[in-house]
């Protein structure tokens, strides 16, 4: 398949099941909601070492938030429910509770509840106040700028992590420009995050390593400097490869995000140095969810 | 199916215990069976059809017409369904109700919604003392649900209140929120003396400045984030509380009762 001169490889991206939740952060203004959200989702690029993958889903207008203030919704993904709960709680406690004027709310309904502010309440040292409003429990925790309002729990849902595609370009600036265009388009899509810096990862990995202690290592088949030194997947004119990783609440959400992202790259086309779109295919070793590029773009 | 309707034939000589006539007790019974039920009235037992004419068949929707303040225990332990009372209700209206909805077009007597567990109770007129309170000697009043009173309430509103929401469009009498352990009482009108007497936790939300005891301490003026959420939850109510213009988030906060553990609060609109 070729779109605007860009070859879409006949391959598939592999993704794996994760647990996810959504939290809504509000603040006195959009600036402080965003600061809290960025802090909460910091150092959360990959479960390999961060404990979770997190990102900003979108900015919310005051009409969309529970307390009528400016807000941001964040999505957090982890390999299991226990890990997700731990990450959510520590990040809420250290990054949102501490941020001036913020409040924190559940952003997703589910029968499985995980603590949001339920345990943060103890920071109130006995002065905390519970309020059950319309079936939801909130905690009011006295803090130095007034009161930190947080919902007690949020929902945990099954999700999909690790959807991806690779952009293969004739130069590094062209690969980056194409990925930036893709990220801009994909950020308009609901229920997904691209957890790597700016949504883009330049150090895509393969499963396993020659070193026994490592579960993942550099994806040498796509490293342009190794074209003559390893079993490469790159043609001679490809000088740079970048990857976009997508976590989504459902497979369909990732399908949609990949479609708009790949389309944005293809819109730039061969004339802007884009040669191919490929994907992290690990021969079925990584996960049960498969995203066939050509089917998605059909 | 039309609502199961009990129309009172004439004013009873003695008070009547209506606790048998709730949705879950009448479900599946024929009109003949219902007519033969006996209600306690003073020292006597009276058949339902001696007191009421009975129409309709939907036991999940009960209407009591021509009701008077001598009909006690209406909706006692109601466990789902709706009850409409056209006229006044006696004492213990909605006592210990678990879920469902009770609406009274007139006034209600003492101990309305006492020890209520959940559900929704609305009184268009006034209510007597001990609204949502604990029964005498008990330590736990209302534990959940919503009470809306469009008129005035008597003394000891929410005595020993444990959880839930009491909304009063009119005035509340003395000792409003006395001994409350938690929960919220909102009063749009005026409140009497000894507001929040011995309250431990919970919130008294007031539109008008109260006469506070010396055991309540001023914590200053604040903008509280939970108030807009609370007011938003009132939008579906048929009440002044649902009017967006009555909401506020700027309050004077008083902590008390310091003669107790002092973790309660009186929030007064600024």
A133 beta partners: A136
Please, are residues A69 and A60 in contact by the beta-carbon 8 Å criterion? no
**B229·A147 Cβ contact <8 A:** no
**B233·A129 Cβ contact <8 A:** no
Chain A's closest residue to B235, CA to CA, is: A134
A109 contacts chain B (CB < 8 A): no
**A131·B184 Cβ contact <8 A:** yes
- Å between A77 CA and nearest CA of chain B: 28
**A129·B265 Cβ contact <8 A:** yes
- Token readout for B224 is 């509280």
Span B82-126, pLDDT tens digits: 999 999 999 999 999 999 999 999 999 999 999 999 999 999 999
Q: Which of B163, B226, B233 sits opposite A149 (nearest CB)?
A: B226
Q: Which of A126, A127, A133 sits opposite B230 (nearest CB)?
A: A133
**A147·B184 Cβ contact <8 A:** no
**Helix %, strand %, coil % for chain A, to 5?**
30, 35, 35
Using an 8 Å CB-CB cutoff, list chain B residues near A132.
144, 163
Nearest-angstrom CA–CA distance, A227 and A157: 42
Q: Report, in angstroms and rounded to the nearest whole number, the Rg of chain A calculated over CA atoms.
A: 21
Span A2-11, pLDDT tens digits: 999 999 999 9
Looking at residue A286, its pLDDT comes to 75
B187 beta partners: B168, B206
Q: Which of B222, B225, B265 sits opposite A149 (nearest CB)?
A: B225
- Å between A12 CA and nearest CA of chain B: 46
Nearest-angstrom CA–CA distance, B135 and B84: 24
- Token readout for A123 is 């920071």
Nearest-angstrom CA–CA distance, A175 and A277: 11
Geometric angle at alpha carbon A138, from B246 and B237, rounded to 5°:
35
Looking at residue B168, its pLDDT comes to 98
**A147·B226 Cβ contact <8 A:** yes
Can you tell me whether residue A183 is helix, strand or coil? helix
Asked whether residue A282 carries a pLDDT value surpassing 90, the answer given is no
Mean pLDDT in residue range A251-275: 96
Mean pLDDT in residue range A159-173: 96
Nearest-angstrom CA–CA distance, A175 and B140: 67
**A132·B163 Cβ contact <8 A:** yes
Mean pLDDT in residue range A58-83: 96
Q: Which of A127, A129, A147 sits opposite B225 (nearest CB)?
A: A147
Q: What is the CA A181 to chain-centroid distance, rounded?
A: 17
Mean pLDDT in residue range A113-118: 95
Using an 8 Å CB-CB cutoff, list chain A residues near B203.
129, 131
Q: What is the CA A93 to chain-centroid distance, rounded?
A: 20
pLDDT (tens place) for every residue of chain B, 270 residues total: 799 999 999 999 999 999 999 999 999 999 999 999 999 999 999 999 999 999 998 999 999 999 999 999 999 999 999 999 999 999 999 999 999 999 999 999 999 999 999 999 999 999 999 999 999 999 999 999 999 999 999 999 999 999 999 999 999 999 999 999 999 999 999 999 999 999 999 999 999 999 999 999 999 999 999 999 999 999 999 999 999 899 999 999 999 899 999 999 999 999
Asked whether residue A180 carries a pLDDT value surpassing 90, the answer given is yes
Give, for A180, the enclosing helix (H) or strand (E). helix A172-186
Nearest-angstrom CA–CA distance, A139 and B4: 43
Please state, in angstroms and as integers, the Cα–Cα distance from residue A131 to each residue in A25, B98, B149, following that order. Answer: 19, 20, 21
Looking at residue A266, its pLDDT comes to 96
DSSP state letter for A53: E
A117 contacts chain B (CB < 8 A): no
Geometric angle at alpha carbon B200, from B196 and B206, rounded to 5°:
35
Looking at residue A287, its pLDDT comes to 82
CATH of domain A2-14+159-297: 3.30.70.520
- Å between B205 CA and nearest CA of chain A: 13
Using an 8 Å CB-CB cutoff, list chain B residues near A126.
263
Span A25-54, pLDDT tens digits: 999 999 999 999 999 999 999 988 899 999
Nearest-angstrom CA–CA distance, B158 and B161: 5
Nearest-angstrom CA–CA distance, A47 and A246: 13
Nearest-angstrom CA–CA distance, B51 and B74: 14
DSSP string, B192-239: -SSTTTT--S-EEEESS-----TT-EEEEEEE-THHHHHHHTTTTSSS
Neighbours of A31 (CB within 10 A): 10
Please, are residues A15 and A162 in contact by the beta-carbon 8 Å criterion? yes
Nearest-angstrom CA–CA distance, B89 and B70: 7
Using an 8 Å CB-CB cutoff, list chain A residues near B163.
132
State the pLDDT confidence band at A280, using cuts at 50, 70 and 90.
confident
Dihedral angle sign, alpha carbons of residues A174, A180, A183, A188? negative
Interface test with A, best of B182, B229, B232 (most A CBs within 10 A): B229
Using an 8 Å CB-CB cutoff, list chain B residues near A103.
225
Asked whether residue A191 carries a pLDDT value surpassing 80, the answer given is yes
**A67·B229 Cβ contact <8 A:** yes
> Which residues 62-101 of A have a C-beta within 8 angstroms of B?
66-69
Please, are residues B263 and B201 in contact by the beta-carbon 8 Å criterion? yes
DSSP string, B115-155: T--SSEEEESS-B-SSTT-PPTT-S----SSEEEESS-B-S
Nearest-angstrom CA–CA distance, B57 and B76: 20
Enumerate residues 6+ apart whose C-beta is below 8 A from A193: A53, A54, A55, A56, A57, A75, A77, A246, A247, A248
Q: Which of A66, A127, A146 sits opposite B223 (nearest CB)?
A: A146
**A67·B225 Cβ contact <8 A:** yes
Q: Which of A69, A127, A140 sits opposite B226 (nearest CB)?
A: A140
Nearest to A21 by CA among A151, A199, A163: A151
Identify the residue whose tokens are 């996960």: A287
Nearest-angstrom CA–CA distance, B32 and A72: 61
Looking at residue A216, its pLDDT comes to 86
Nearest-angstrom CA–CA distance, A122 and A106: 19
Dihedral angle sign, alpha carbons of residues B32, B33, B39, B44? positive
Nearest to A14 by CA among A179, A140, A166: A166
Q: pTM for the full model? A: 0.91
Please state, in angstroms and as integers, the Cα–Cα distance from residue A120 to each residue in A90, A138, B49, B59, following that order. Answer: 9, 11, 58, 46
Please state, in angstroms and as integers, the Cα–Cα distance from residue A136 to each residue in A33, A86, A154, B8, B256, following that order. Answer: 22, 21, 10, 41, 25
> Which residues 238-297 of A have a C-beta within 8 angstroms of B?
none
Residues written for chain B: 270
Looking at residue B268, its pLDDT comes to 98
CATH of domain A19-157: 3.30.70.520
Looking at residue A65, its pLDDT comes to 95
Nearest to B56 by CA among B29, B87, B17: B29
Residue limits of CATH 3.30.70.520 in chain A: 2-14+159-297, 19-157
Top pLDDT among A72 and B1 is at: A72
């Amino acid at each position: 398949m070729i779109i605007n001169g860009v070859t879409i490889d006949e391959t598939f991206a592999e993704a794996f099941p994760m647990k996810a939740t959504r939290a809504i952060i509000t603040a006195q203004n959009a600036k402080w909601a965003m600061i809290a959200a960025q802090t909460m989702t910091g150092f959360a690029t990959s479960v390999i070492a961060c404990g979770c993958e997190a990102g900003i889903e979108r900015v919310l207008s005051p009409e969309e938030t529970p307390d009528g203030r400016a807000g941001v919704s964040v999505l957090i993904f982890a390999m299991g429910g226990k890990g997700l709960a731990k990450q959510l709680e520590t990040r809420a406690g250290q990054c949102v509770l501490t941020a001036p004027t913020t409040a924190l709310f559940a952003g997703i309904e589910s029968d499985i509840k995980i603590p949001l502010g339920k345990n943060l309440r103890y920071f109130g040292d006995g002065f905390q106040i519970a309020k059950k409003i319309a079936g939801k429990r909130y905690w009011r925790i006295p803090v130095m700028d007034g009161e930190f309002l947080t919902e007690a729990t949020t929902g945990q849902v099954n999700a999909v992590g690790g959807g991806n595609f690779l952009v293969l370009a004739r130069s590094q600036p062209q690969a980056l420009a194409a990925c930036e265009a893709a990220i801009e388009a994909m950020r308009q899509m609901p229920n997904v995050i691209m957890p790597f810096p700016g949504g883009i990862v330049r150090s895509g990995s393969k499963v396993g390593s020659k070193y026994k202690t490592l579960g993942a290592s550099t994806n040498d088949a796509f490293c342009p400097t190794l074209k003559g030194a390893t079993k490469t997947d790159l043609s001679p004119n490809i000088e740079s490869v970048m990857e976009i990783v997508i976590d989504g609440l459902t497979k369909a959400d990732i399908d949609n995000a990949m479609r708009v992202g790949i389309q944005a790259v293809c819109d730039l086309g061969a004339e802007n140095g884009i040669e191919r779109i490929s994907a992290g295919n690990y021969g079925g070793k990584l996960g049960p969810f498969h995203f066939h590029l050509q089917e998605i773009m059909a | 199916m039309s609502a199961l309707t009990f129309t009172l034939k004439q004013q009873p000589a003695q008070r009547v215990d209506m606790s048998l006539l709730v949705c879950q007790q009448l479900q599946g019974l024929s009109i003949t069976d219902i007519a033969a039920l006996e209600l306690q009235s003073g020292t006597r037992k009276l058949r339902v059809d001696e007191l009421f004419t009975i129409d309709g068949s939907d036991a999940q929707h009960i209407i009591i017409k021509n009701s008077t303040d001598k009909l006690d225990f209406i909706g006692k332990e109601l466990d789902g369904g709706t009850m409409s009372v056209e006229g006044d209700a006696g004492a213990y209206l909605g006592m210990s109700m678990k879920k469902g909805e009770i609406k009274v077009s007139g006034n209600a007597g003492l101990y309305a919604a006492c020890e209520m567990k959940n559900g929704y109770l609305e009184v268009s007129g006034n209510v007597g003392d001990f609204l949502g309170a604990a029964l005498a000697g008990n330590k736990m009043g209302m534990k959940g649900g919503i009470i809306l009173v469009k008129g005035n309430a008597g003394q000891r509103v929410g005595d020993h209140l444990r959880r839930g929401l009491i909304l009063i469009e009119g005035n509340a009498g003395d000792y409003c929120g006395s001994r409350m352990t938690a929960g919220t009482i909102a009063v749009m009108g005026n409140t009497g003396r000894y507001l929040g007497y011995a309250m431990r936790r919970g919130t008294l939300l007031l539109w008008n400045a109260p006469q506070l005891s010396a055991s309540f301490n001023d914590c200053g003026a604040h903008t509280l984030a939970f108030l807009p959420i609370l007011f938003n939850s009132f939008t579906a109510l048929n009440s002044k509380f649902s009017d967006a213009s009555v909401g506020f988030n700027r309050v004077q906060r008083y902590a008390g009762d310091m003669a107790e553990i002092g973790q309660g609060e009186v929030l007064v609109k600024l």
